[in-house]
Structure 1
Amino acid sequence: MANHQQSIRSTEDEAADQREPSSDRHTTTAEHTTDGHTTAEHPAPGRGMAEHAATDTPDSGAPSEPGEPGEPGASGDSGDSGDSGEPSEPSEPSEPGEPGASEGTALRRRRRRRRRRIALAVLAALVVVIAFAMRNPSPVGHWDSAEGQDRYLAAYAEAFEDLPEPDQTQDLRTDYGFVRVYRFEGTGDAEAPMVLLPGTASGAPVMADNLPSLLEIGDVYLIDLLGEPGRSVQERPITSSAEQADWLDQALAQLDEDTVHVVGLSIGGWTGVNLALHAPGRVETLTLMDPVNVFDDMPLETIVRSIPAAFPWLPKSWRDGFNSYTAGGAPVEEVPVAEMIEAGMQHYRMKLPQPERISPDQLSTLDIPVLALIAGESVMHDPPTATETAEQALTDGTVRVYPEASHAINGEYPEQIAVDIEEFLADHE
């Protein structure tokens, strides 16, 4: 009798265990991203949940009732019971390296690839829409109206008031148009002057915070990039990276300098590297402040966020929102430089080729010293990836990471940047 009662209790306990959901059926997988954060991936609704259900329920689709040992449906996980007729024990979570873990990893990778393909398809469609909406027969950069140009130049002039008075202002003729260059005489004893290249859609005043401390190192030239908003005037098409380097090399050739230290911010960093790859003769050193498309690709989220800001008829708040996003969330309303950048984004129609990503192989060919300043909170690349690329690819590189800096690194840490540049130049002049 005791044996019979024990048998009944055992059978009931087993049935209860089998009715409980398997511990590994809906586990959440922690996944480390390239920026060091951990994200949780849950089964997605719709197809993702259907895939989980298909692996966890019998083929009949009907809910299984507890039955006698050995009968189909007696176990809540019939796929694991085999043909022995014995009830299966609740399955344990797969350990890393076991087949279950491998299948889960493969499934996650397929889902990520699917999401990436969908995002790229949406992005491609948006690019086509933007290209159609903003089509213009002009082959060179230009203002959309006289009123738009006046608005930008007024903002440019206000932001320029934060700069020291230039010792010389030149408009240098090149094959592609006139290049505006400001010269500032410094108090330091650097042998070669620095040439500052600003970021896209901005102009020379964006470097206002950097001028006082850099002038203590030596002379400084400040350039408005050709084909971008500013006081440079594009007259002929620029259709390739080689021509991007050509106009800058022609401008530098007209300065009374043998060599220069090129200091570039954002797209200005890309412009400096591109110059050194195509026409390195005048470049003594390169300093890159959170450069774009140099050490890593631009993240998809940043590309998508930039699309609404490209439509000039959308509210100003959309462009301000994107500029704040790149500056780590800092407010940009009523900031003269930010007002200048927003006006350039709205009223200037750039006609430049898309900057090509500088490959690690290309970086390895640079035979000049390079100082790379990486913003640890940049949204223009993945900072850990950019740091690793710079450290591995540059043959004569110095890499500095500013952990809390945003892409607006030049205005956030002007004094520290000047210290790093001064030390860098002292080691390589």
Structure 2
Amino acid sequence: MGKTGAFISDDKRTDYFAAYRAAMADGPPPAAVLDVETSFGTTRVYRHGSGGAPLVLLHGLLAGAPMWASFWAKLSAEHTVYTLDILGEGGYSVQTEPMADHADRARCLDEVLAGLKLTGVHLVGASSGGWQAANYATRYRDRLATVTLIDPTTVTANFSFGALRYGLLLKLLPFDWMWRRFFRWAAGADVSGEPAIRLARATIGAYRPAVSFQTCLPEADLRAMDVPTLAIFSGRSAVHDSALAADRLRSWLPESEVEVWPELGHYLTAADRHRVADRLLRFVATRLPDHQA
């Protein structure tokens, strides 16, 4: 029988949610807090705003919904924004059944969107959230209007040797100083003070995730992904070969908009959130019915 994600102890759970609340305070309070039932457990969803086409935000690995807190005010001025605590990665979502593979992860997300009764969704994912957005879009297209991928990992290129080496070191040396070193390496700058990074570090020490390891999506599946796509890659991203990833995506999805921002490291949403938000909103605006008319 497979495993489900769970907190390591009550004390660590308490410490984690203190960091979670601090990260949530980086944005406005939600208009609604929703718990959506799926076949794999309950997914926590925050809604901001109440008008405009829906944006659904998927966070990076173990970063939780508060990763997007600093985006909520700007994005919800024009859209209804839904932000998930991805099931199996901590937060207030509660996993009760294992997810065996990538298909289960996509099915779980589809059940969340179905529970929210959403169509015409502009799906946005950063880092591993970008992988989850692409994994979903290659299997379920009917609910989607667009997909935006922000330095997505393992969509078209594998993790770098350095990222895999850090993964091994962090298993052997799971200390705070080592995590600080990893985040600085991945970002190309010291981002340890960012609320979302502090939350990711708190998650690592408090929560035992139970999700399948990311692997690159099949080329044929991506070529068949008939959804308007924006992909932004970090030119200084150390976790993968972003130039190779961008080139492959341009080739496999020739109608997509693919950009490489050469001066930034992996954590774009922390390094230049205003630029990311502006680019996302411009892309979505070009796909709205009024614009198309």
TM-score range normalised by the length of the shorter chain:
over 0.9
Where does 1:270-349 land on structure 2 (aligned, <5 Å)?
Answer: 270-310=131-171, 314-332=174-192, 334-349=193-208
Separation (CA, whole Å) in 2 of partners of 1:405 and 1:201 = 21
- Could you tell me how far 1:335 is from its partner in structure 2? 4.0
Shift of 1:427: 2.0
Counterpart selection for 1:196 from 54, 57, 67:
57
The alignment status of 1:208 with 2:69, answered yes or no, reads yes
The offset of 1:299, in angstroms, is 0.5
Residue 331 of structure 1 deviates from its aligned partner by 4.5
1:162 aligns with 2:26: yes
1:251 to 105, 112, 117: 112
For structure 1, the residue ranges without an aligned partner over 5 or more in a row are 1-136
Shift of 1:225: 0.5
Contact 1:375 1:407 (8 Å CA) reproduced: yes
Output the amino acid matched with 2:241: D
Matches of 1:272 and 1:257, distance apart in 2: 15
- Answer yes or no: is the 8 Å Cα contact 1:227–1:350 preserved in 2: yes
What is the CA-CA distance between 1:308 and the residue it aligns to? Answer: 2.6
Deviations 1:293-317 (A, max 9, x none): 0121110111111223235x74211
Report the alpha carbon displacement of residue 380 of structure 1 after superposing the two structures with TM: 2.0
Distance 2:21 2:262 in 1: 33
Task: Please state if 1:410 is matched with 2:257.
Answer: no
Aligned residues of 1:327 and 1:406 also touching (Cα < 8 A):
yes
For residue 151 of structure 1, what is the aligned residue in structure 2? 15
Partner of 2:291: none
Q: RCO higher in 1 or 2 (8 Å CA, sep ≥ 6)?
A: 2
Q: Which residue of 1 aligns with 2:125?
A: 264
* C-alpha separation in 2, matches of 1:211 and 1:205: 10
Deviation, structure 1 residue 324: 2.0
Distance 2:28 2:35 in 1: 19
2:48 matched to 1:184?
yes
1:247 & 1:364 partners in 2: Cα distance?
A: 23
1:228/1:212 CA distance change after superposition, 3 Å: same
The one-letter code sitting in structure 1 at the alignment partner of 2:278 is V
For residue 421 of structure 1, the aligned residue among 280, 283, 286 is 280
Matching of residues 5-404 of structure 1 within 5 Å: 139-185=3-49, 190=52, 192-310=53-171, 314-332=174-192, 334-404=193-263
Q: Which runs of 4+ in 1 moved over 4 A?
A: none
Identity, in percent, stands at: 31
Cα distance in 2 between the residues matched to 1:280 and 1:346: 36
Q: Secondary structure at the match of 2:70?
A: coil
- The alpha carbon displacement at 1:226 in A equals 0.4
**What per-residue deviation string (whole Å, max 9, x for no partner) do you get for residues 163-196 of structure 1?**
111000011110100000000006xx74x21000
Q: TM-score, normalised by structure 1?
A: 0.64
Do 1:360 and 1:389's aligned partners in 2 also have CA atoms closer than 8 Å?
A: no
Provide, for residues 308-353 of structure 1, a one-character-per-residue CA deviation record: whole Å limited to 9, x for no partner.
3235x74211122212222213141x54322211111122111111
Whether the aligned pair in 2 keeps the contact of 1:155 and 1:337 (CA below 8 Å) is: no
1:423 is displaced (CA, Å) by: 2.1
Q: Cα distance 1:146–1:339, how it changes in 2: closer, same or farther (>3 A)?
A: same
What is the CA–CA distance in structure 1 between the aligned matches of 2:110 and 2:277, rounded to whole Å?
Answer: 25
Query: 1:420 and 1:335 mapped to 2: Cα distance?
Result: 21
Q: Structure 1: how far apart are the matches of 2:261 and 2:73? A: 21
1:138 Cα offset (Å): 7.0
Secondary structure of the equivalent of 1:278? coil
RMSD: 1.7
Aligned residues: 288
Q: Is the 8 Å Cα contact of residues 152 and 344 (structure 1) preserved in structure 2?
A: yes
**Aligned residue type for 1:316:** D
The residue type paired with residue 198 of structure 2 is E
Q: Which residue type is aligned with residue 195 of structure 1? A: V
Alignment-derived partner of residue 55 in structure 1: none
SS in 1 for 2:37: strand
Say which SS state the counterpart of residue 138 (structure 2) adopts: helix
